Amino acid sequence: MAAKRKALGRGLSALIPETLEKEDYERIQEIDIDLIRPNPNQPRKIFEQDKLNELTESIKKYGVIQPIIVKKEDELYTIIAGERRWRACKNANIKTIPCIVRDIENRNASEIALIENIQREDLNPIDEATAYEFIMDRYGITQEEVSNIVGKSRVYVTNIMRLNNLDDYVKDKIKNNLITAGHGRALLSLDKEKQRSMADIIIRDNLSVRDVEKLVREQKKPRRKIKREKDKYILYLEEVLTERFSSKVNIKSNKNRGKIEIEYHSSEDLNRILDLLNIED
């Protein structure tokens, strides 16, 4: 059964040749499990043992229903997707595993068409970002390798792909040419809710990218706490007590609670204040 294709933008979905997944499943190979290695860049490092044991038992009974995806590197194969299935097969002492081998250097006809379409079509920045992510996920390659394939600089690819982190609402505004990719990048440091509200402000006020960058900087500045003015009666009491103890007195109040602070500058000064309070050692 073919794996579900990742949801793509409307413009991008038209670029994916219909035969792409069909050709994948026409070239499934049984590969020696010892020739396969996990991807060192796989973000998932820990696999729950209970679930792995369940999958191992399932594979013992029914075999591997869905092939794993690998890429060939020298004499070995690195996993792009399906490391859990591979680990379960090793636990089940299975010698070979069905694999789809993806090789970015030796692309099939549908893969060549996909790359050519991405290079040729006038994609909006969001569909372009999704296309690059699709290629990276499909072949397990880096942004630099993507940049070489599509003929763009690595910095360009990196900046475009950052748009994938925007809120969907903001992405739609970029797709519909209501704001630019530059506006989108300026919003990336904000949380999703603020991104949405800021996108509406950009459209309403026709803001430039520079205007947005300035607004975002202002929003991220720590706000100064407004110092509350003291009640006049509290100020009067501070003055009276300061004169009474010949030391600075500070009263901090919050509704019906608070505290009185009396400064002293030496042990002798402290003893003097204690005497005034009739407190003996």
The CATH number of whichever domain residue 49 belongs to comes to: 3.90.1530.30
Same domain, 213 and 250: no
User: How far is C-alpha 105 from the chain's CA centre?
Assistant: 30
Is 212 contained in some domain? yes
Do 34 and 87 lie in one domain? The reply is yes
- Side-chain half-sphere CA neighbours of 2 within 13 A: 13
In a domain, 218, yes or no: yes
Q: Which of 223, 245, 261 is the last residue of a domain?
A: 223
Torsional class of 234: left (φ above 0), alpha (ψ -120 to 50), beta (otherwise): alpha
Same-domain status, 204 and 252 = no
Chain-centroid distance of CA 112 in Å reads 30
CA distance 116 to 129: 16
Where does the chain have alpha helices with state H?
A: 10-13, 19-26, 49-62, 83-91, 109-120, 125-139, 143-150, 154-161, 168-175, 181-187, 192-205, 209-220, 232-245, 267-276
- Separation between Cα atoms, residue 19 and residue 115, nearest integer Å: 14
CB contact at 8 A, 31 and 89: no
- 57 annotated active-site: no
Task: Give the pairing of strands 96-101 and 28-32.
Answer: antiparallel
**pLDDT computed for residue 25 by the predictor:** 75
Q: Is the dihedral of CA 112, 115, 117, 120 positive or negative?
A: negative
The pLDDT averaged over each successive group of 10 residues in the chain (281 residues) is 43 61 78 90 71 90 88 86 90 92 68 69 82 83 85 90 95 93 94 93 93 88 70 84 85 82 83 77 58
The reported pTM is 0.58
pLDDT confidence of residue 33: 94
Q: Which of 74, 101, 128 is the last residue of a domain?
A: 101
Name the one residue in this structure whose structure tokens are 């049984």. Answer: 30
Looking at the structure, do residues 196 and 238 belong to the same domain, yes or no? no
Does 265 reside within a domain?
Answer: yes
**Torsion angle, alpha carbons of 75, 78, 80, 83, to 10:** 130
CA distances (Å), 63 to each of 22, 96, 153, in order? 21, 11, 44
Q: Give CA separation, 166 vs 28, 109, 136, 152, 160, in Å.
A: 36, 33, 19, 22, 11
Active-site residue among 83, 121, 133, 238? 83
The length of the chain in residues reads: 281
Which range of residues forms the domain containing residue 255?
A: 232-276
**How many domains are there within the chain?**
3
Q: Is residue 62, in this structure, part of any structural domain at all? A: yes
Q: Are residues 206 and 244 in the same domain?
A: no
Question: Which pLDDT score is estimated for 108?
Answer: 60
